[in-house]
Amino acid sequence: MDTHIKELKIVEEAKQPLSMNPKKFALWLFMVSVLMLFGAWTSAYLVKRADTGWAEIILPQQMAINTAIILASSFALIMAYRAARHDNLKLVKLGLGLTMLLGLGFLVGQFVAYGDMIKLNQYFSGSNVSHSFVYVLTAVHGLHLISGLVFLAVVLADSYKFKVHSKSLTRLEMCSTYWHFLGILWLYLFVFIKLNP
C-alpha cells in the first residue's frame, strides 16, 4: 500500500510543469532581441571598419565617466533589492531614488559626450560612417535606458505605496534584471569601441 502511494506521488510530481512568470519570460525575450540587434550592429561595425576610408574614433573622456556612473547605479539598485528582501523600506526608496538619479546623470553625460565628439570633429554624417556608428549605438542604448528609467519610476512609486517588500519582489527583480542588462550592454559597447577605434 505504501509503495503504491509513493508511486502515485512520483507520477504527480513528474506532471508538474516547469513554469516561469510570463512577464519575466517576456522581459527575457525582449532582452534577447535587443542583444541580437546590438550584435548585428557591432558585426556591421567590424565589417565597415575593414573598408578603406574608416576614420579613427576618439571616445571622449566623458564616456568613461558615464561608464562609472552606470556601474554605480547598478550597485545602488543591488542595495535597494537587498533592502527589499529584509523589508527595509526606507533603504529601498533610497536605493531606487539613487539609481534613478545616476541613470539621469548618465543620460546628461551622454549629451556632454556628444558635445565633446563634435569638438573633436566627429559628426553624425553619411560621409563618415565610423563616427555615425558611435552615435547610433549610444543613442539607441540611451533610448533603452529611458525605458529603464520609466520602469524604475514605476517601482519607486510602488515602494511609496508599500508594494515593494520581501513578499512582493517580482517587479523589482524584473526592473533590476533589465537595469543590470543595460549596464552590461553599455560596458560591452564602450569596451568594443575602445578596442576597435
**Residue 129: what pLDDT?**
84
Per-residue confidence (pLDDT) for residue 162, from 0 to 100: 86
Quick: pLDDT tens for 126-165: 667 888 889 999 999 999 999 999 999 999 999 998 888 8
Q: Rounded to an integer, what distance in angstroms lies between the CA atom of residue 71 and that of residue 168? A: 26
What pLDDT score was predicted for residue 18?
A: 53
Does any domain span residue 32? yes
Which region among 38-42, 124-128, 188-192 has the lowest average model confidence (pLDDT)? 124-128
What are the helix (H) ranges across 50-169? 61-85, 89-119, 129-160
Structural domain count of the chain: 1
Is 63 within a domain? yes
Q: Give the mean pLDDT of 169-197.
A: 93
> How confident is the model over 66-117, as pLDDT tens digits?
999 999 999 999 999 999 999 999 999 999 999 999 999 999 999 999 999 9
- Whether 5 is in a domain gets the answer no
Residue 93 falls inside a structural domain: yes
Q: Is 164 exposed, middle or buried (0-12, 13-18, 19+ CB in 10 A)?
A: buried
Q: Is residue 118 part of a domain?
A: yes
Where do we find the cell 523589482? 172
Residue span of the structural domain in which 111 resides: 25-195
Residue 2's pLDDT is what?
A: 52
84: in domain: yes
CATH number of the domain that residue 121 is part of: 1.20.120.80
| Distance separating alpha carbons of residues 154 and 177, to the nearest angstrom | 15
Is 8 within a domain?
A: no
Q: Quick check: is 44 in a domain?
A: yes
